[in-house]
């Protein structure tokens, strides 16, 4: 995957948006302020105005194809500033590691998948699970980075990533069991986006673990064989 992206980057890298997640973080904050000014802070009204709702897009409200990714999961001012900063920080780290082109591809691939899933299911969606997919990428690339949980308890990002993945899987099964297919589709898209970029690494990791297990088994078999011969 990365080799193919490197070739595409040579052709189209100049079109990639620099500091992409900075714009997303600013837009997250702006959406909350707009909801306060226009809707009096009513979350449901703001979500109804900006979420990706296929039926309304087909009626001409094409801004929803973009604004849905800016909707936060909570409209509290304290929470939105915290999550906006986290989004920016994660994005900056990924941009430094991948380069802005690969970060753009990761984000916009997830965004396009979310749009396709929404139109297939016919129900609305936000960018919530797309942002969780972004965090999974960060946790995979920087597993030993530490966050201060509750601003005082240091926790390695890999553990938060495992919790994030477990939450997504549990939510997926719950939505499937309840028949809420548009939410299940949004989670599936976030996983597909993640595995497009990291699937090869997981396959290599599984093969390595299998090879290590086989080597260990052969070693202990040889030890037992030599011991039996002595006795």
Question: In this model, does residue 208 exceed pLDDT 90?
Answer: no
How many whole angstroms from its chain centre is CA 218?
40
Measuring CA to CA, which residue among 191, 18, 15, 188 is closest to residue 98?
Answer: 18
Any idea where the domains of the chain sit in the sequence? Answer: 2-230
The interaxial angle of helices 43-50 and 20-39, nearest 10 deg, is: 120
pLDDT of residue 11: 80
Residue 90 has pLDDT above 70, yes or no: yes
Q: Chain centroid to CA 135: how far?
A: 5
Cα atoms in the 13 Å half-sphere on the side-chain side of 84: 22
Pick the CATH number of 2-230 from 3.30.870, 3.30.56, 3.40.50, 1.20.1540: 1.20.1540
Computed over every residue of the chain, the mean pLDDT equals 82
Residues 6+ apart with CB under 8 A from 34: 46
- pLDDT tens-digit readout, 51-60: 888 889 999 9
**SS3 per-residue string spanning the chain:** CHHHHHHHHHHHHHHCCCCHHHHHHHHHHHHHHHHHHHHCCCHHHHHHHHCECHHHHCCCCCCHHHHHHHCCCCCCHHHHHHHHHHHHHHHHHHHHHHCHHHHHHHHHHHHHHHHHHHHHHCCCECCHHHHHHHHHHHHHHCCCCEEEECCCEEEEHHHHHHHHHHHHHHHHHHHHHHCCHHHHHHHHHHHHHHHHHHHHHHHHHHHHHHHHHHHHHHHHHHHHHHHHHHC
Global pTM value: 0.79
Q: Tens of pLDDT along 217-231?
A: 776 667 666 666 665
């Amino acid at each position: 995957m990365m080799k193919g992206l490197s070739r595409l980057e040579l052709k189209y890298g100049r079109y990639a948006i620099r500091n992409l997640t900075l714009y997303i973080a600013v837009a997250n904050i702006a959406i909350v302020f707009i909801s306060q000014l226009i809707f009096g802070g009513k979350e449901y009204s703001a979500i109804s105005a900006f979420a990706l709702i296929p039926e309304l897009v087909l009626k001409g409200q094409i801004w929803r194809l973009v604004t849905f990714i800016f909707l936060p999961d909570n409209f509290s001012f304290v929470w939105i500033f915290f999550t906006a900063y986290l989004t920016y920080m994660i994005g900056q780290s990924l941009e430094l590691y991948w380069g802005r082109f690969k970060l753009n591809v990761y984000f916009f691939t997830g965004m396009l998948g979310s749009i396709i899933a929404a139109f297939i299911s016919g129900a609305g969606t936000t960018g919530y699970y797309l942002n969780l997919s972004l965090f999974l990428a960060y946790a995979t690339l920087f597993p030993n980075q530490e966050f201060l949980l509750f601003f005082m308890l240091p926790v390695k990002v890999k553990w938060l990533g495992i919790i994030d993945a477990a939450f997504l899987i549990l939510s997926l099964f719950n939505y499937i069991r309840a028949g809420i297919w548009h939410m299940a589709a949004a989670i599936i898209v976030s996983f597909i986006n993640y595995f497009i970029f990291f699937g090869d690494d997981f396959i290599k990791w599984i093969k390595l673990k299998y090879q290590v297990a086989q080597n260990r088994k052969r070693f202990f078999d040889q030890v037992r064989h030599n011991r039996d011969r002595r006795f």
